[in-house]
């Protein structure tokens, strides 16, 4: 196999190799890692605070994790408001074009009505009906009667068209005003969500920055151990025994896109090409596969068809946490590719290393 197919196969093979470090086969003993021995705190000078003990560092890990999860929820709200604002802006542009076209049409109809009025004035101001009744030529009378009826129909149609056009313009203007109100509301919602995101991330970063280098390294290890324990427990349920489905052609394309982004940084609100947030990665992966899906993880959960976890296949999206604030792309063998959080990069992780809400299938 050569070309794209070979690249995709190689990428998936590499993913599976990476996943082996965080996965356990069903039925295999995957013991929880032993509790680490707390490091001996170095000597401190009088008045200096002692380094946190292992138990307090675990509390710090939980607090930081909670802050980043809250930031993820706020990021989803920001993305949703941004998506709505973009759609409303597009609708306002469409309505503005309709108003321009309607106004041009109305101007032409008014010009025609004005021309008809001027023609009548040049005829002495006498209505066509009166001039027709005064005619003493029978054939001219009949011919004129026919043209008069045609003229009356044309005039009536023109007046009807003018009235309809004026009504359309009022409707367009009303709709545009309503869209402006919604746009402003979503801009405010977006700004509020942005504040929350920055506040939560800043709090987490401040908490982490207070740690010494060795403590930060230990914190990272504690994160990995917690994810490994959760993944191990999930695999031990046997959930992967029946998850034997194969990726569809679009699913393979989505996987190829997602795996090609590994190593790129998480940036909230980003959807490529240099950085991604969690739903930015999954929505762009499926866009690359030719399938448009909602921008946010919450809307992906609401709108896409759901499948049972035991029936999932590579290419499906796994939605996490009760508020559907995180999402990853399932690549098979119990692994996902996802953009974890600020300070981390797109990576491979165990599909069960976080609280699973459910699975959705973009190409069902």
Q: Which of 16, 153, 321, 326 is catalytic?
A: 326
What is the spatial distance between Cα 227 and Cα 62, in angstroms, rounded to a whole number?
12
Length of the chain: 364
The pair of three-digit structure tokens given for residue 220, joined into one six-digit string: 């990272």
Give whole-number Cα distances, 149 to 285, 304, 361, in Å: 64, 59, 63
First to last CA, the chain: 27
User: Position of tokens 């299938």?
Assistant: 361
Residue 316 · residue 293 · CB < 8 Å:
no
Beta bridge partners of 356: 320
**Distance separating alpha carbons of residues 243 and 239, to the nearest angstrom:** 7
Distance (Å, rounded) from C-alpha 110 to C-alpha 108? 5
Of the residues 6, 16, 18, 338, which is catalytic? 338
Q: Which candidate in 6, 16, 278, 321 is catalytic?
A: 278
Catalytic-residue membership of 326: yes
Q: Is 148 exposed, middle or buried (0-12, 13-18, 19+ CB in 10 A)?
A: middle
Catalytic residue positions? 278, 326, 338
């Amino acid at each position: 196999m050569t070309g794209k197919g070979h690249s995709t196969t190689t990428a998936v093979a590499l993913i599976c190799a990476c996943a082996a470090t965080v996965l356990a086969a069903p039925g295999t003993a995957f013991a929880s890692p032993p509790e680490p021995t707390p490091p001996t705190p170095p000597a401190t000078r009088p008045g200096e605070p002692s380094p946190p003990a292992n138990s307090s560092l675990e509390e710090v890990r939980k607090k930081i994790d909670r802050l980043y999860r809250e930031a993820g929820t706020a990021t989803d709200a920001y993305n949703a408001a941004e998506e709505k604002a973009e759609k409303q802006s597009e609708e306002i542009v469409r309505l503005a074009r309709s108003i321009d076209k309607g106004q041009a049409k109305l101007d032409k109809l008014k010009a025609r009505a004005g021309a008809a009025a001027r023609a009548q004035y040049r005829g002495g101001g006498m209505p066509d009906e009166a001039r027709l009744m005064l005619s003493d030529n029978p054939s001219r009378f009949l011919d004129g009667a026919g043209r008069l009826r045609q003229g009356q129909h044309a005039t009536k149609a023109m007046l009807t068209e003018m009235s309809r056009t004026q009504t359309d313009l009022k409707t367009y203007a009303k709709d545009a005003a309503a869209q402006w109100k919604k746009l402003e509301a979503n801009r405010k919602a977006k700004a509020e969500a942005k504040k929350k995101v920055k506040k939560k991330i800043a709090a987490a970063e401040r908490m982490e920055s207070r740690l010494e280098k060795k403590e930060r390294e230990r914190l990272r290890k504690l994160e990995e151990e917690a994810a490994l324990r959760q993944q191990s427990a999930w695999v031990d349920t046997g959930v992967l025994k029946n998850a034997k489905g194969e990726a569809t052609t679009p699913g393979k394309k989505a996987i190829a896109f997602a795996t090609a982004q590994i190593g790129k940084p998480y940036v909230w609100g980003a959807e490529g090409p240099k950085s991604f947030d969690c739903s930015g990665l999954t929505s762009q992966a499926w866009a690359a596969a030719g399938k448009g899906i909602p921008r946010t993880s919450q809307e992906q959960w609401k709108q896409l068809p759901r499948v049972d976890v035991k029936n999932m296949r590579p290419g499906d999206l796994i939605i996490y946490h009760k508020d559907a604030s995180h999402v990853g792309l399932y690549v098979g063998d119990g692994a996902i590719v996802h953009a974890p959080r600020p300070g981390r990069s797109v990576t491979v992780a165990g599909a069960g290393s976080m609280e699973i809400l459910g699975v959705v299938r973009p190409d069902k």
